[in-house]
Amino acid sequence: MEQKKVDLDFSLQAVPKAHRNGFWRMLVVMLGFTFFSASMLSGGTLGLGLSMHQFILVVVAGNLILGVYTGSLAYIAAKTGLSTHLLTRYAFGEKGSYLSSFLLSATQVGWFGVGVAMFAVPVQKVTGIDTYALVAVSGLLMTGTAFFGMKALAILSFVAIPLIIALGGYSALEAVNTLGGFQALMQHQPTETISLAAALTICVGSFISGGTLTPDFTRFANTKRNGVITTVIAFFIGNSLMFFFGAIGAISTGQSDISEVMFLQGLIIPAIIVLGLNIWTTNDNAIYASGLGISNITKIKKSKVVIFNGIIGTILAMWLYNNFVGFLTLLGAALPPIGAIIMADFFILNRGKYKDFENMKFKAVNWNALIAWAAGAASAQFLPGIPPLNGLLGAALVYVVLSLAVKKAVESKSAIKVEKVTEA
């Protein structure tokens, strides 16, 4: 009799304890996730608009917020062994979870394509190699690591993280020297200032949509402690490092991306290595997560979906890069409320304990969650203050209030029915 092949991605089930990973493997995967070129662009914007003391304050505060948000999601994932998409079934219902899975997956495929183009365009400028050839090769390579799952993501990150830190750090130090040293850097004053609220919005908003997918990776953590600590380190230290690289580059050369700074410094090969690895470590995580989302909807194995998503992202890379970045940013504002609803459902309504996924009978659609998600997205878009935090708090508050109100109404109705039966 033919033995059924095990899905080592555990696309549609909890990750068994025997397949969980320890601290160091989880740390490099999460650092690879947060080493993202777009964070350097955000860091450059902050570096040019703030004094260095303000910059440090905003980056520390912003990444602490990200750390708390993603760390909370990491705890839930490590405890349950479930991906973001399977966790949404508890709050949104089985079919209701399809909406969040589609939004998360479509956004990640879009950013995957943008990332591929972000590598190909600058490399073409300095090497003359055809842009579309670079897009095709890099897209296939990035899809390949995601296809082979968490082990491949970990191996890539083990290689990439030290190289990015070493080469990027060397370039950043050279850039600091051109400014006159660290003292001169600390004395930098912006020519056009931005408010602290706007700066905090940029910092938190740069990665909060991606952070919503944290459970897709931390479900493999062997303990809740390792899941939380590695996530907080990655978002607090890893993401902060990208911001500092971006700020130093922008202040010294006018370029936010450390690879662009390296091109100007004449470090062509190291620049291509850093640029490629930086985008690769994030892109393979993005396409991996998108595969889990579509798998939740279609019930097709993640590995097959990843190939399809990777090909689509690669084919559309230049079009996405030229036309779609603004829309992806807008779409990203709709993602954090999903994470907020998961957290509110788990920690508040279910008091930190879910029934086993295999034995759980889910609702088809939980309209409370969908209404709360829409309220959170609207809060982020229209309310004054810090949009990402508005989205999180708005979604969580509406979800809890609605859920408790509906529960109370159902209980009251049941009590009235019992009273009538008793009287009869």
Give 2-26 pLDDT, tens digit per residue.
445 667 789 899 999 999 999 999 9
In a domain, 395, yes or no: no
In a domain, 362, yes or no: no
In a domain, 242, yes or no: yes
pLDDT tens-digit map of 141-186: 999 999 888 888 889 899 999 988 888 888 889 889 988 998 998 9
Cβ neighbours of residue 208 under 8 Å, at least 6 residues apart?
66, 69, 332, 335, 336, 388
Instruction: Single out the residue of 204, 206, 226, 227 nearest to residue 216, CA to CA.
Output: 227
pLDDT tens-digit map of 230-286: 999 998 888 899 899 889 988 988 887 778 888 888 888 888 888 888 889 989 999
Cα four-point dihedral sign 253, 259, 262, 264: negative
In a domain, 369, yes or no: no
pLDDT tens-digit map of 188-226: 888 888 999 889 988 988 888 889 999 999 999 999 999
In a domain, 160, yes or no: yes
Lowest average pLDDT, out of 5-9, 46-50, 64-68, 331-335, goes to 5-9
pLDDT for 253 equals: 86
Range 280-303 average pLDDT: 91
For residues 87 and 283, what is the distance between their CA atoms, to the nearest angstrom?
23
pLDDT for 3 equals: 44
In a domain, 350, yes or no: no
pLDDT tens-digit map of 322-341: 887 676 667 767 889 999 99
Query: For the chain, what is the mean pLDDT?
Result: 89
pLDDT for 5 equals: 63
pLDDT for 256 equals: 77
Q: Tell me, what CATH number does 80's domain have?
A: 1.10.4160.10
In a domain, 84, yes or no: yes
φ/ψ of residue 21, rounded to 5: -115, 155
State yes or no: pLDDT of 77 exceeds 90: yes
Total domains in the chain come to: 1
Verdict on whether the full-model pTM lies above 0.85: yes
State yes or no: pLDDT of 80 exceeds 70: yes
* Confidence band of 421 (pLDDT split at 50, 70, 90): low
pLDDT tens-digit map of 84-94: 999 999 999 99
Cβ neighbours of residue 298 under 8 Å, at least 6 residues apart?
305
Provide the domain limits for residue 75: 18-333
* Confidence band of 28 (pLDDT split at 50, 70, 90): very high
State yes or no: pLDDT of 1 exceeds 50: no
In a domain, 347, yes or no: no
At residue 80, what is the residue type?
A: T
